[in-house]
Amino acid sequence: MYVSNGTGRPVNQSKGVAVTVPRGIFVSGISYNMTESHIKRKFSKVGTVVECALKTDNATGKSKGVATVLFQTAKEAQEATKRYHRSMWEGKEIKVRLDKEETVVATPTDPLIVNGSGDH
């Protein structure tokens, strides 16, 4: 079971701190004509897109002009942010930032040191 701590990283109560990285990006300013496949095709130029989600209005089903894209690695997400932030796409300036959600990439190993103590 994971709980949050003061560092913002999830903590496994039985094993310690899990290693996480931001592998996703948040994209805003997308043309309302774009589909998930358009977005995936564009961002696949910088890396392997694992997941792409275009946000839509629940009532109308129309695009809200924002999406999240999850890459295979954190490096690919960082490259997408550098390459595409404030770039023009289909006549609109898009903004790209690292997503706030992080993905667990490794579990902690023993011995576990908590709060800088040397106790195991």
The tens digit of pLDDT for each residue in 15-30 reads: 555 556 779 999 999 9
Indicate if the pLDDT at residue 71 is higher than 70. yes
Give all strands of the β-sheet with 10-12 in edge-to-edge order.
Answer: 2-4, 10-12, 16-17
Distance CA 84, CA 93 (A): 9
* Residue at 12 is within a domain: no
Look at the block and give the residue holding tokens 């629940």: 58
* Residue at 46 is within a domain: yes
Domain count for the chain: 1
* Residue at 7 is within a domain: no
* Residue at 114 is within a domain: no
Indicate if the pLDDT at residue 108 is higher than 80. no
Mean pLDDT of 49-70: 96
Q: In sequence order, what are the residues at sequence separation of 6 or more whose Cβ sits closer than 8 angstroms to the Cβ of residue 102?
A: 9, 20, 21, 22, 23
Per-residue confidence band for 13, with pLDDT thresholds at 50, 70 and 90: low
The pTM of the full predicted model, rounded to 2 decimals, is 0.70
Q: Residue 101: its pLDDT value, please? A: 66
Indicate if the pLDDT at residue 47 is higher than 90. yes
* Residue at 109 is within a domain: no
The CATH number for 66's domain is 3.30.70.330
Q: Residue 8: its pLDDT value, please? A: 52
For residue 85, the enclosing domain spans 22-103
Mean pLDDT of 64-92: 96
* Residue at 93 is within a domain: yes
Mean pLDDT of 22-45: 96
* Residue at 99 is within a domain: yes
* Residue at 14 is within a domain: no
DSSP character for 45?
A: T
